[in-house]
Structure 1
Amino acid sequence: MGTLGILLSLVLLMYLAYRGINVLILAPLLALLALLFSGETALLLPTYTQVFMKAMGGYMIQFFPLFLLGALFGKLMDDSGSALAIARGIVAKVGSQRAILAIVLACGLLTYGGVSLFVVAFAVYPIGAALFREAGIPKRLIPGAIALGAFTFTMTALPGTPAIQNAIPSPFFGTDAFAAPGLGLIAGLIMLGLGSWWLSAQARQLMTAGEGYGVHDDEPAQQELRDIPGFWLALLPILLVIALNFVMAKQILPQVDASFLAKPEFGGLQDAKSLIGIWSIIVALGAAIVLLVTLHWRRWVDLKRSVNDGAFGSMLPILNTASEVGYGTVIASLAGFVVIRDLVLGVSSNPLVSEAVAVNILAGITGSASGGMSIALKTLGEQYLALATSAGISPELLHRVAAMASGCMDTLPHNGAVISLLAICKLSHRESYKFIFVNTVAFPLVALTVVITLGSLFGSF
């Protein structure tokens, strides 16, 4: 009954989230529903306050700075005109005749630099609509192009990306954002190459069949002409994020005397290895925000409002993800979870395969890359690290596989980012989800398989 309750709870979480009920409400209720099936009715309130809320709070303590700084950086990039300037600059350099590749690269560069995927979608969509209309490419391919650039290789594969999905494995495995850089680059190229080729082939096929851009009454308003910065000036904060993240993670922070961490007030840690990845991104984003504000001092219409809106914009994402972590912690504490855990761990003797399966399943159920990975690593991270150590597999490889696995099954139809992207583009699942699915689920799974295979054969590189 306990295992049945867990499965029922997971199915309801996926279904009700797809129906639009907020996870802040769903997560604690469905966690307690699973507890009821286990027969532990007397533990409802203690489990809620001492297990669910403690895990939720712990996640927020650990990752809130990344959500806050990431949302703030994205908002300032948007309000300063930098995101728009970069998107236009990429389009100008690549050429409007390669509209699909131009949109993919624009989204990729912005998200690799730390700009929120929602900011990217809002900034790039009007440009994409104009380009696709001019080239006669069906509008329903736009979400696939934006998703390829924003939801895939720059989110989970490319080394150094400040995306939260690339930061979550760090404290579990003692790694940083540049874990397994060679494998990450290979995976990124696979996703970019296959996705761009397939979207272009789909465009040619549809246009040959007589489908053009189409007639749409809800076209985006043309973005007003405003004083936007030059391309390279707009790019400077992004370059700083990437460079400073690398220098802090590889050169400066590993040399810091972190013996003070052994004190109780700092958590009693033996070293800073589990914190370097997060500290590096905090420093990089913080410095980039200061540079961004300084560079565009004369362009701010209302800097205080931009800062406040950016800060408020971080609240819902961190609360949603932290609630999912609380849910996962409760599920992992139930006796029925042992069956599921043993099943997942027994999928393969290769811990990389088992980890990939677990993260994929949980990311798909929760509709969240960060939420699914957090649940998987919170409940099984120690086992995976122990199995990998005994098998001679490096933690860096575990990091990269976990990050990449989180970005495969997460974009099922109930995923919040998918729903938001379709709403921004004013298209339906029926019209455009196929193009999102292939680029954000199918091709990332291909890339993940390649990384696991190469990692198993040659180790981390």
Structure 2
Amino acid sequence: MIGILGIVLSLALLIVLAYRGWNVIFIAPLCAGVALLFNWQEAPLLATYSQVYMPAMGNFLAKFFPLFLLGAVFGKLMEDSGAAKAIALGIVRLIGAERAILAVVLACAILTYGGVSLFVVAFSVYPIAMQLFRSAQIPKRLIPGAIALGSFTFTMTALPGTPAIQNAIPMPFFHTTPFAAPGMGIIAGLFMLVCGQLWLSRRAALARTAGEGYGEHHDVIVEEDNRDLPNVWLALLPLASVIALNALFTYVVIPAMDTGYLAMPKFGKVSLPAVLGVWAIIAAMAIAVLLVVLLNLSRFRDVRASITEGTLGSLLPVCNTAAEVGYGAVISGLGAFIAFRETLKSVVGDPLVSVAVVVNTLAGLTGSASGGLSLTLQAMGEYYRNAALAAGIDPEVMHRVATLASGGLDALPHNGAVITLLAITRLTHKDSYKDILFCAVVFPVLSGFLVVGLNAVFGTF
């Protein structure tokens, strides 16, 4: 009992300090140390830090650092070349300014599905959204909900092939690819998009009936960039290449390669399925980075500076997540946690339901989709894979449900992306969180359990 108390206090301290702005890289080992103090007989402090925490953190970096790096560099290049803005404006012209909410949602969705960081998307789309909403007399308070719907939800966790890290983390555990359970992912994505769009449209209609317009806001006027923007189709090419090349490397190129050397100790004695998904995303993103540079070389003020800034921008997110993985490795090795895990297995017998509940819970507690997913799979990934195989459940649907669950309760008020989005738009939780709650929490959580139900009736597809 005292061991469980230590774990609860440790996790509570991690949540409180993270919410108050303390850096996770610094506080994660300290919070793990709190749990160790209550379990001192089985887990010596310094040995656990050097032999458990740091190897787990390093292993995560070894697997996923290239994805964070390439994603951040790609996003920065898309922003600095003007390609991200060109795509957003192209979507507005296609959809029509009168459909401002849908235009903003789709602009964010296309950019994030193509591999652009949600933070870059928020900065790129917000000035356009501000102009559209003001012209259409839609309350500004709905902008964060629209950006969250397009950036934090279906393109991050549902659509097959998305290069988001949340879609990559389950692959080594379940030996799956970025295209796991594609039919289910598409249905879940459509569910989130349609429900979110209906919610925001209804909120806008109610505001119009009440006579509420855009509102009085002292918006920061963003200086217009007078450079020629790339043609929208040219700007879309690198995004399309990410998805197309991802599929090509996943299903054709890498499987055709002779990878027998992976069985050698030098390469970790792994099978191809354990690395296929990550390899495919790395190759696709690397080519996309090169492509966006070549297509927009004359539009960059300084390519080297853009790449440097993107590289530096990748370090904090990847180290934050890796620190949470190290924390999870310490906690998962404690006898008290193992006893709790066994109790959980007996209470929630279905591994598919269990992974949905546990990932949602930890993502909500940590305020991080990748953090909650990593903590869960670091602690119970092998168990979930074996339990799924024993129950006749396709690992692909385990992958998709785990990924969907990571994008559910993660967007609670203390989530870093939520706080950043509100800061960018100069709005408060009181102004806009209700719409973020429904678009980025309620509907994504329901979509995960929708897939669980679909699997029960139709199997994996």
TM bin, normalised by shorter chain, reads over 0.9
Q: In the aligned structure 2, how far is the partner of 1:109 from the partner of 1:291?
A: 17
The 5-angstrom pairing of residues 161-176 of structure 1 reads 161-176=162-177
Counterpart AA for 2:16: Y
The aligned counterpart of 1:373 is 373
Deviates more, 1:214-223 or 1:283-292: 214-223
Q: In the aligned structure 2, how far is the partner of 1:164 from the partner of 1:40?
A: 37
Q: In the aligned structure 2, how far is the partner of 1:142 from the partner of 1:256?
A: 47
Q: In the aligned structure 2, how far is the partner of 1:222 from the partner of 1:428?
A: 24
Counterpart AA for 1:199: L
Offset, 1:41? 8.8
The aligned counterpart of 1:420 is 420
Give the secondary structure class of the aligned counterpart of 1:301: coil
CA distances 1:114-169 after superposition (whole Å, capped 9, x unpaired): 00000000000000000001111111110000000000000000000000000111
Offset, 1:347? 3.8
The aligned counterpart of 1:73 is 74
Aligned residues of 2:35 and 2:331 also touching (Cα < 8 A): yes
Q: In the aligned structure 1, how far is the partner of 2:127 from the partner of 2:76?
A: 18
Q: Does 1:140 align with 2:141?
A: yes
Q: In the aligned structure 2, how far is the partner of 1:316 from the partner of 1:209?
A: 44
Offset, 1:222? 4.4
The 5-angstrom pairing of residues 122-141 of structure 1 reads 122-141=123-142
Give the secondary structure class of the aligned counterpart of 1:160: coil
Give unpaired runs (5+ residues) of structure 1: none
Give the secondary structure class of the aligned counterpart of 1:346: helix
The aligned counterpart of 1:244 is 245
Q: In the aligned structure 2, how far is the partner of 1:378 from the partner of 1:164?
A: 15
Counterpart AA for 2:217: H
Counterpart AA for 1:18: Y
The aligned counterpart of 1:457 is 457
Q: In the aligned structure 2, how far is the partner of 1:89 from the partner of 1:154?
A: 19
Give the secondary structure class of the aligned counterpart of 1:66: helix
Give the secondary structure class of the aligned counterpart of 1:314: helix
Q: In the aligned structure 1, how far is the partner of 2:413 from the partner of 2:346?
A: 29
Offset, 1:349? 1.8
Aligned residues of 2:356 and 2:449 also touching (Cα < 8 A): no
Q: In the aligned structure 1, how far is the partner of 2:158 from the partner of 2:221?
A: 32
Offset, 1:444? 0.6
The aligned counterpart of 1:51 is 52
Q: In the aligned structure 1, how far is the partner of 2:275 from the partner of 2:14?
A: 32
The aligned counterpart of 1:355 is 355
Q: In the aligned structure 2, how far is the partner of 1:459 from the partner of 1:377?
A: 23
The 5-angstrom pairing of residues 11-30 of structure 1 reads 11-30=12-31
Aligned residues of 2:42 and 2:334 also touching (Cα < 8 A): no
CA distances 1:156-202 after superposition (whole Å, capped 9, x unpaired): 00000000000111110110000000000000000000000100101
Offset, 1:239? 0.7
Q: In the aligned structure 2, how far is the partner of 1:64 from the partner of 1:168?
A: 11
The 5-angstrom pairing of residues 279-358 of structure 1 reads 279-358=279-358
The 5-angstrom pairing of residues 72-91 of structure 1 reads 72-91=73-92
TM normalised by structure 2 equals: 0.98
The aligned counterpart of 1:392 is 392
Deviates more, 1:201-210 or 1:145-154: 201-210
Aligned residues of 1:344 and 1:357 also touching (Cα < 8 A): no
CA distances 1:236-265 after superposition (whole Å, capped 9, x unpaired): 001110100001111121222211011111
Aligned residues of 1:3 and 1:339 also touching (Cα < 8 A): no
Q: In the aligned structure 1, how far is the partner of 2:356 from the partner of 2:440?
A: 16
Cα 1:293–1:3 shift into 2, 3 Å: same
Aligned CA-pair RMSD: 1.1
The aligned counterpart of 1:276 is 276
Give unpaired runs (5+ residues) of structure 2: none
Deviates more, 1:10-19 or 1:436-445: 10-19
Q: In the aligned structure 2, how far is the partner of 1:343 from the partner of 1:415?
A: 29
Cα 1:427–1:40 shift into 2, 3 Å: farther
Percent identity over paired residues: 58
Offset, 1:344? 3.0
Q: In the aligned structure 2, how far is the partner of 1:371 from the partner of 1:42?
A: 23
Offset, 1:20? 1.0
The aligned counterpart of 1:5 is 6
Counterpart AA for 2:229: I
Aligned residues of 1:126 and 1:222 also touching (Cα < 8 A): no
Q: In the aligned structure 1, how far is the partner of 2:43 from the partner of 2:378?
A: 25
CA distances 1:294-337 after superposition (whole Å, capped 9, x unpaired): 11111111111001001111000000000000001101111110
Q: In the aligned structure 2, how far is the partner of 1:345 from the partner of 1:128?
A: 46
Aligned residues of 1:346 and 1:354 also touching (Cα < 8 A): no
Q: In the aligned structure 2, how far is the partner of 1:374 from the partner of 1:53?
A: 15
Q: Does 1:94 align with 2:95?
A: yes
How many residue pairs get matched?
460
Q: In the aligned structure 2, how far is the partner of 1:40 from the partner of 1:327?
A: 19
The aligned counterpart of 1:182 is 183
Counterpart AA for 1:340: F
Offset, 1:24? 1.1
Counterpart AA for 2:23: N
Give the secondary structure class of the aligned counterpart of 2:60: helix
Offset, 1:266? 0.4
Offset, 1:401? 0.5
Give the secondary structure class of the aligned counterpart of 1:336: helix
Offset, 1:42? 7.2
Deviates more, 1:111-120 or 1:207-216: 207-216
TM normalised by structure 1 equals: 0.98
The aligned counterpart of 1:202 is 203
